[in-house]
Structure 1
Amino acid sequence: MSQQTMSKQKDMELSLITNSVLDNLGFSKKQIMLRSLCIGERFKFIPSFSGFTALIAGSSGEGVPLADSDIDIMNILRDVICVDTGFDNHGELIILGTDYSETAPGYTRVVSISIPDNLLFSPLFHAISVYDTVSRENFLSSEKMRFFTGHNRILLNVHQRNDIKTDINGPSVTLTYSPSLHSDFVDSIYFYGGNYLQKWENRIKINAWPSSEIVNEVSEMEGYIVPIGDKQSDMQSLEWRICYTTAEKKLVSSLSDIQIKAYVLLKMCEAGGRRVKLAA
């Protein structure tokens, strides 16, 4: 038997062992999809700030949490959307618009387009509105959004559960229920802007994944704007980051069993690298 053949055989044996170990650790595709569903159901009952809808994001939402993974929860404002172009408002939604001028890719400033009469005195939007005398626009401050909703959520949870430890960490509010159970809440707003997903949909594909059906489905999904700006920007306090959490979850769920295990291994390597840096 040649050395090359022996090497290939050892690689195959290692792959089979790795595949078996990941199955035993709960990282087969079937186990991951079931875990994603169960986590979503379980955390529906976490206390949430009034006026928001909860969405499990990150590794936990995908069903591939590691031992040190947080539970990331996006709280999405109800009855509010942000759009790139005009939207016919029938008095039921607060409509916000994007302003990409002088912002880095993936970020936008947000302006008010249409607020129904019954919501004109919404305490949230009055609290986070900033009038710019140069552009004569009312921008929404991501910094004020974090402060306003973050502190209200702290007061709400302290009132309901005095055994919950609550801290503000950047754009998120971290709730610690026990030494081994904690979650990060990040506020967000629905975003419907076609440019990013259209570019992704129309890119040149050289692989069979994702399928054209998945690409079409993902390209029509909603995005979200999160109240955090580009750290390198002078307008950081007025910028919001664009993300596609549900689209990412859909792409992960479309992976094959082998692909999803490769994804888990990459996450393990990334987590191991973080721990090495912290130890150093």
Structure 2
Amino acid sequence: MNKLITVATSALALGLAAPAFAQEEPKEIEISGSATIASDYRFRGVSQSNKGMAVQAGFTAKHQSGLYAGVWASNLAGWGTFGGSNTELDIYGGYTLPVGGATLDAGLTWYMYPGGSDKTDFAEPFVKLSGAVGPANLLVGVAYAPKQEALGPWSLTGANAQAVLAGGNYNKPGAKDDNLYIWADANTALPSTPVTLKAHLGYSDGNPGLGPNGTSVAPTGKYWDWSLGADVAVGPLTLNVSYIDTDITNAQGAYLQPNFSSTKDGSTIAGSTVVVSVTGSF
């Protein structure tokens, strides 16, 4: 997923010098992790923290064979709560292998919202291909979540979703839908500086209504999201500043109201914004 923080899925080989005639063997399992404080949690361009601060953390264990597994969590608010507690917990796993001069990564992410019903959780398989092209690192990915109730258009409008909260009935209870996300990332380090420039472009195609949680992974059904930013390494920490936006207009999201807006002031949660975050890795 395109989060503000991506927990590393590849381990660094240890090349600690031993006697000249020997080298320490690589560890069979490497564990890496990170923790982040961010001014907003944007998932595919849409705020999951009601345009407020997010605290996030996760870790990954990778076997030298290429198999890996990990967990990642963040606080949520408003649109992002998905009918559960104010927490998102992602469990993921996969396998990486070299393909020519690139790396292929295939796996699955299980999105969980502790405290909610089992209808709010969903699984999303993914495939990513990454590699270096000149001074830049490029990645393209496809994530496809097959038809599941958590992604279905249970409420066709925000008005119906609000009526359900008041004890009413869904428009289409039990409906299932799928979701497709295609994205590309690029980054390049500025020579002789601690700065890395980053860019992201993504496209979502999914449920244009609202699921059993009163939200949708693809608000308005089809839309683009993008970001431009920079990482700055400061000792053991990384400071990121990113401009994030989508092509979802207020008119396009009107039928999702009042769900698809900030509960603080009614403003859009998919408009342009600047997100600042600080990450510590280990």
Report the structure number with the largest CA radius of gyration: 1
Task: Compute the TM-score of the two structures, normalised by the length of structure 2.
Answer: 0.24
> Which structure is higher in RCO with an 8 Å CA cutoff and minimum separation 6?
1
Task: Compute the TM-score of the two structures, normalised by the length of structure 1.
Answer: 0.24
